[in-house]
Structure 1
């Protein structure tokens, strides 16, 4: 059971998105420590300092922003550099691509559409597609809307579906995907979707799929007759006053977007925004703390629905509308991570503890996601020992 759980959780993260720069004042610490704006005054400051400085000891690490919500208060800490060699500390307003955390926004939009009675979670997705897609069913069982966001649709990892392109294990899958998505249009997506062949009944087999979340974004556009980015703004970011969360950055925000780096310190190129509902959003730690508070509070029907199990064991591990949920002793950790070329992120909510953590980093290698999870666990447990430990 443990091996299965770890495997499923590892696979539930993603790859993919965008870079540039930022300015800030920097507090210089002793040479062996990373620069930070941590004031080291409150107990929580020292908790974060110990965990974050440990994270920053890995040589390839560049910048780190940590946000904590606890009992109605928010705390923001920044470490390292927003750009290599700049000696400029990230700030609460530094913009990072949040990769697969985007999928939780897409899940929230689906939940809102259900609340507004525009769709039902169990609807056959073909009801919302342009034209006939007899291929999107297996032995009479169709893909349903919620399958698109819990990775049990049976759709491929990515469209265009080129498993041969991912055979080269020396190149990160996210870099390969970036190349495949160059100049790839929505019409190309629908054309390739007609060639998909399901090999099992939807809803039973886990298969990580950016295609599913991307398709759900397109479906929501058709349901509301609005672009996906407008839906995110109208239904989520305006409501929560998340003023610097978007797919398309306005000119005024271009210089606030951190560049991303790989393990060799090479700056990663931007990737196309076609992934949209799967991985295209960019945000700040300040904005993401507002999103955390919204999820921790669980006061709206849409949020409650995103946290409701659509697959798994509701007493241990389950999947909501892209949120992963771990249950232990009456407490939950509700989380999602994101990993793309140059960036790694994590958002975790603890509703019963009135607490949440968001971590954004502008460096990504094979160990970054694991180290960010360890960082979150260390902070959460030190703040409240009842916090459910995320698998690492």
Structure 2
């Protein structure tokens, strides 16, 4: 789970919509199996970046979806399973990890649009029981704080910071283990024990617990399970039929196996975090999500992209989206990491462009490598594209 970084980046004024047509890459560069046809200029750009990514010995599989000027492109590399060669496809299902939080933010935005809630509501309006601990010097945690990491809630409930002192183990793997047998009742019991150290809204503190709590609150607001809300409000209208938490037996056949840097298959992550990291999806579905975010035609999409803290002319945050705006251009993104999986979703509304990257390998360098890959592709396709910090 990466902390959000404040970064000042250069914006290049000259646009290059597509690179000049390049010859087919030499065979020696085509090391990883792929379905890339190498017929379009975008194909060549992706091939160069993806083969570089796949050259790392720990790489397993990679799926990339690109939106450019209304046209979509899908590319797959490697394998879904180390034990047998099977190329991913546009229908291969990957965990989205923390990209899930952007769906939770979009649900909150939709609830605001529908007049169900307000972003500034005291969260205790939606909690059963007495929670005087969820305010600091009279200032309560508000709904918006739960999805922009300004609530002051801990990284995770159960709050076990001592479990994360082992820096050789990814925090996502530690969190998954802590949540194995953790119920919603356990969550609320631990929520009573939280102590805030600052005024809500004042200080960044990355919190899966905040997004998880927002999911529970939205369930109460609509009187429906979180997964059903995602389907009714987002994935069904956007024709994202493979984006869900609970996989059927048929879905399981399309679900990739995830690996750590040593090639060890990771166990499935628990779904208790739901609104924080439990959604799974495909590249095909995520391209529909990118189109919705890039177009910004829906009130909920526009609200999810509005600044909730930060600098209008630099780094800021929306409803869990990280954002940078420079010289009239914006990049809106979120990444995600779970044991065995890394993901990244990036939107450029002003450039009518976006990219999603899904991988079934995760170590402490995977997120950096995926960001580097996305930056290379996007900057090559359009030099105006703002680079993501990594």
Question: TM-score of the superposition, structure 2-length normalised?
Answer: 0.93
Structure 1 partner of 2:348: 350
Determine the C-alpha separation between the residues in 2 that align with 1:182 and 1:338.
19
Structure 1 partner of 2:164: 166
Deviation for aligned residue 1:169: 2.2
Structure 2 gap ranges (5+): 8-26
Deviations 1:231-258 (A, max 9, x none): 0000000000001010000111111000
Structure 1 partner of 2:222: 224
Deviation for aligned residue 1:8: 3.4
3-state SS of 2:133 partner: coil
Cα distance change, pair 84–372 in 1 and its aligned pair in 2 (3 A): same
Deviations 1:194-239 (A, max 9, x none): 0000000000100000000000000000000000000000000000
Query: Which portions of structure 1, spanning 4 or more consecutive aligned residues, are displaced by more than 4 angstroms?
Result: 29-32
Deviations 1:153-210 (A, max 9, x none): 0000000001122222232222221221111110110000000000000001000000
2:377 equivalent among 379, 382, 387: 379
Deviations 1:92-119 (A, max 9, x none): 0000001000000000000000000000
RMSD: 1.4
Deviation for aligned residue 1:36: 0.4
Deviations 1:26-73 (A, max 9, x none): xxx658611100000011100100111111110100000000011111
1:213-362 aligned within 5 A: 213-362=211-360
- Verify: 1:9 aligned to 2:5, yes or no: yes
Determine the C-alpha separation between the residues in 2 that align with 1:188 and 1:7.
26
Structure 2 partner of 1:388: 386
Structure 1 partner of 2:31: 33
Determine the C-alpha separation between the residues in 1 that align with 2:115 and 2:372.
40
Question: TM-score of the superposition, structure 1-length normalised?
Answer: 0.93
Deviation for aligned residue 1:9: 2.2
* Greater Cα shift, 170-179 or 94-103: 170-179
Determine the C-alpha separation between the residues in 2 that align with 1:84 and 1:64.
13
Structure 1 gap ranges (5+): 1-5, 12-28
Cα distance change, pair 236–7 in 1 and its aligned pair in 2 (3 A): closer
Deviation for aligned residue 1:10: 8.4
- Verify: 1:210 aligned to 2:228, yes or no: no
Contact 2:30 2:51 in 1 (8 A): no
Contact 2:80 2:88 in 1 (8 A): yes
Determine the C-alpha separation between the residues in 1 that align with 2:261 and 2:370.
15
3-state SS of 1:105 partner: helix
Determine the C-alpha separation between the residues in 2 that align with 1:286 and 1:255.
17
Determine the C-alpha separation between the residues in 2 that align with 1:372 and 1:209.
23
Deviation for aligned residue 1:329: 1.8
1:36-51 aligned within 5 A: 36-51=34-49
